[in-house]
Amino acid sequence: MKLLVTGGAGFIGANFVYYWLEKHPGDEIRVIDALTYAGNLENLRPIIKKIKFFEADINDRAKVHDAIKGVDAIVHFAAESHVDRSIFDPSRYWQTNVRGTALLLDEAVKLKVPRFHHISTDEVYGELPLNSDEKFTEKTPYSPRPDNLYALSKAEADNVVLDFSKKTDMFITISNCSNNYGPYQFPEKFIPIAVTNLIDGIRVPLHGDGRNVRDWIHTSDHASAIDLILEKGKKGETYLVGSNNDRDNKYIAERVVTLFGKGLDEIRHVPDRHSNDRRYAIDATKIITELGWKPKVGRENFDDGLKETIKWYRNNQDWWRPLLKRRAMITDDNRAISAFITLDRETGKTKFIFGRFEEKDKSEVKKSDLKEHFVEENLVRHEIVMKNLRAKKWYQDSSSMIKEEIDKLALDPSTFGYVEDLAARADTLVGDTILRLTKIVHAEEKFGIYGIATWFEVVDNKKEMRSEGFYSWGWGPKSGAKLLVLVRRKGEITHFAFQREQKFPAGGVMYNLAGGFPRLNESVLDFIIRSLKRDLNLDVRNNGVTLNEIISLGRVSPDTGMTNNHPNLYAVIVDFEEKKYPEVQAGDKFEENVGIVLWPVGEISEMVNKCDDSYFLAAMARLTLSGIYTINLSENSRKND
Ligand code: NAD
C-alpha cells in the first residue's frame, strides 16, 4: 500500500510513521509536512531514507497534488496543535486546520484516493464537569469552548471532513483522540516540560489546582487504533480513541517526579493558564467492541509508558535541547514588529517576546512563517460561528424573525461578538433546557455602544417554564482586551501606565487601563499596538518606546450574573528609552488630570486602594501570582503615611 501521512514530522505523526514501518514494512510511506516550529525533520532522521518526504504546506495545492498522486490512503495529522499559541495567532489555526483540511480532501477526491482518515481531538466536545463519571462518546454534540481556538478550528475541520464524507464517494473515517504522550513530543506540552525541567534541575510547573483531568494515551496505542480503523473501520464513521486513563494533572506531575527519582517538592504550583478545560474523558467502547481494539500500554501499564518516555528524553537531549530555543513568529500588519512565541520553562506557559524585525531574526524565520498571517481570520470565524449557531436546537426553534435579526447582527462588526457568544450557548445548562430565544431588545443606538438584552424561554427538569435573560454591551464575550501596561527602563519595571479619563457611567474621572474593543479584522497584536497609541500615546512603531513582551492573563467577567462582557487581560511590557523619556525616572510620578499617568510600581499599595478599575486589580493579582514576571513592588514604597 502507498500511504500518505500529513504532519508526519510532528509528534504523533512521526510516532505513527515508525509504527507503520515496523508493522507494514512492505508499504510505501510518503510524508507531507510544512516543518512549522512544531515540525521537525529530526523526528524522522533515522528512517528518512525509507520514506518519501515532501516539505510543503497542505494549503499548497500543486505540492499537495504531487504528494497525493497514486496513494491508496491518507492519514491526516497536519495541524496547528497548541492551545496557548492559538490565542495569539488564530488565523494560522483556521488556515491549516480548516482550510488546509478542505484543500487536502478536495485534491484527494479529484485524484480518486480511495481512503482518507482524519485525526481529531476530544477537545471538540468541550469540557466535562469535574465531579461526574460522564465521558465523551461518538454521540456527544460538539461544543468546544469558544475561546479555545484550537478546539474550535478542529471542530470545524471535522465538519468539513463529514461534509466531504456525505457528499463524495471517498471512504472517510475520523478518530477523536485524547491526550497523547510518548517520544518526540515538543517540549512545550505538559509531560515533556516536566521531564526536561527535571533533567535541568528546574521545578515542574503545575497549573491551577492541578485537578484538571485528561485521558492520557501512549502514541503507540493511538497508532494501533488508527491502523485498525484503516483496516476495519466503517465508511463515514467516527471513532473515539482513549485508553480509559483519565488522570488529573497533579497525579501526572507526581508520577513523573517520582519515576524520575525526585521528591514531590520538585513540583511548583503556578496559576492556571488561559482556556484550560476542566476535564476530558473518553468512552472508547465503540472502537473496542466493533473493531476489537485493545491498547497495549493503556491504563494498566501507564507507569511503564511514563518510564519509557522519561528514559527517551534523558537519552535524546540532542533532540530536545535545540527545540527549547525554537520560536514561532508572528508579525503586525505592517511587518514592522515581530513577536516570538516561546516557552517559559519555569511556569510552563507561553510567552510572547517582541522586538523590531531585525536582520539576525530573518535567518531564523522561514518564508512560510511570514505569509498567511491574520488573513481573513474573522471571515472564517464568521462561518464557524454561524455553523455552531445553526447546530443549536434552541436556535432552530426560534422564530424566523429572531434568526434574521441574528444574521444581521453577525454581519455587523460591532455586534459579531454578541452572536459569537450566542453560538456558544449549549442547548442545556445544569437541569435547564433552553427552548428558544424569544426577544432581543436593543438600547438606543445613539449611545454609540451597543446594548442588548436577550431573553430565552427555558424549561427546568420539573418541566416548569420560565424566562431567562442577560444584558450584553460592547462586544459580548469576545469583548477585546484590557492592557496592564508596565514601563521598563534599563531592564527594571518602574511604572504602570494608565489613562485618566472622564467615565460617564461611573460619573467621574477614573484611572482606566488601556484597551477596549478590537475591529473585526484586527489581529490581537495590531489591536494592542493601536490601543497603546490611542489610549496612552505610546507609539511602539516609532523610536523611544519598544513593545517588549505580552503575557496573557486570561479572561475576566466584571459581573457574571448580569452581563456577558468578558474581555481578555494582558500584561504588556514596554521599554522606555533613556533619551526619549529623560523625565521619567524610577519612583517619579507622572500624572495628568486627564491623560496619561505613569505610576511608580513602588507606590502600588496606594494605587490598589484608590483605583476602582476592577480589570487593573484582576490583572495585577494574576500577574503577580503568575510567577512569570517579578516586579519589585516594595521598592520605594511609602510606609504608613
Ligand atoms: P504537532 O504540532 O507535533 O505536529 C503537527 C505537524 O503538522 C507538524 O509537524 C507541523 O509541521 C505540521 N503542520 C502544521 N501546519 C502544517 C501545514 N499547514 N502544512 C503541512 N504541515 C503542517 O501535533 P501533534 O500533537 O502531533 O498532533 C497531530 C494531530 O493529532 C493534530 O491533528 C492534532 O489535532 C491531533 N491530536 C493531538 C493530540 C495530542 O495530544 N497531541 C490529541 C488528539 C489529537
Domain boundaries of the chain, sorted by first residue: 2-185+217-245+277-299, 381-473, 481-640
- 123 is known as an active-site residue: yes
Ligand 1 atom, smallest distance to 58 CA: 19
Ligand 1 atom, smallest distance to 43 CA: 9
More confident residue, 234 or 449: 234
Q: What are the pLDDT digits (tens) for 89-109?
A: 666 788 899 889 999 999 999
- b/e burial code for range 13-47 (CB count within 10 A of at least 16 → b): bbbbbbbbeeeeeeeebbbbbbbbbbbbebbbeee
Which helix (H) or strand (E) element contains residue 323?
A: helix 317-324
Q: Which of 122, 127, 248, 344 is catalytic?
A: 122
Give the best-scoring range by mean pLDDT among 201-205, 276-280, 517-521.
Answer: 201-205
Q: Whose CA is nearest to atom 35 of ligand 1?
A: 120
Q: Are 567 and 481 in contact (CB under 8 A)?
A: yes
Of 19, 77, 149, the one to substitute when testing ligand 1's pocket (max ligand atoms within 8 A of C-beta) is: 77
Residues of the chain with pLDDT > 90, as a percent, come to 50
Q: How far is the CA of 19 from the centre of ligand 1 (A)?
A: 17
Q: What phi and psi values does residue 391 have, to the nearest 5 degrees?
A: -80, -15
Q: What would be the CATH architecture of the domain defined by 2-185+217-245+277-299?
A: 3-Layer(aba) Sandwich (3.40)
Look up residue 245 and give its amino acid. N
Q: What phi and psi values does residue 632 have, to the nearest 5 degrees?
A: -80, 85
Question: Among 567, 496, 574, which residue's Cα sits nearest to residue 533?
Answer: 574
Q: How far is the CA of 79 from the centre of ligand 1 (A)?
A: 4
Q: How far is the CA of 21 from the centre of ligand 1 (A)?
A: 20
Ligand 1 atom, smallest distance to 184 CA: 3
How far apart CA 28 and CA 25 sit, in angstroms, is 8
Q: Are 604 and 575 in contact (CB under 8 A)?
A: no
More confident residue, 615 or 478: 615
Question: Among 554, 486, 483, 561, which residue's Cα sits nearest to residue 525?
Answer: 483
What is the CA 17 to chain-centroid distance, rounded?
27
Q: How far is CA 560 from CA 437, 477, 563, 623, in A?
A: 20, 11, 6, 21
Ligand 1 atom, smallest distance to 12 CA: 26
Query: Tell me, what's the pLDDT at 576?
Result: 82
35 lines ligand 1 (CB under 6 A): yes
Torsion of CA 81, 82, 86, 92, to 10 degrees: -30
Q: Which residues pair with 178 in a beta bridge?
A: none
Residue found under cell 492541578:
210
- b/e burial code for range 340-361 (CB count within 10 A of at least 16 → b): bbbbbbebbbbbbbbeebeeee
pLDDT over 50 at 441, yes or no:
yes
Q: What phi and psi values does residue 416 have, to the nearest 5 degrees?
A: -60, -40
Q: Are 505 and 451 in contact (CB under 8 A)?
A: no
Residue found under cell 467516527:
238
Q: Which of 57, 123, 246, 549 is catalytic?
A: 123
98 lines ligand 1 (CB under 6 A): no
- 150 is known as an active-site residue: yes
Query: Tell me, what's the pLDDT at 478?
Result: 55
As a residue count, the chain comes to: 641
- 300 is known as an active-site residue: no
Of 60, 75, 81, the one to substitute when testing ligand 1's pocket (max ligand atoms within 8 A of C-beta) is: 81
Which grid cell is 436?
428558544
Q: Which CATH number fits domain 481-640: 3.40.50.2300, 3.90.79.10, 3.30.930.10, 3.40.50.920?
A: 3.90.79.10
Mean pLDDT along residues 115-140: 93
Residue found under cell 417554564:
465
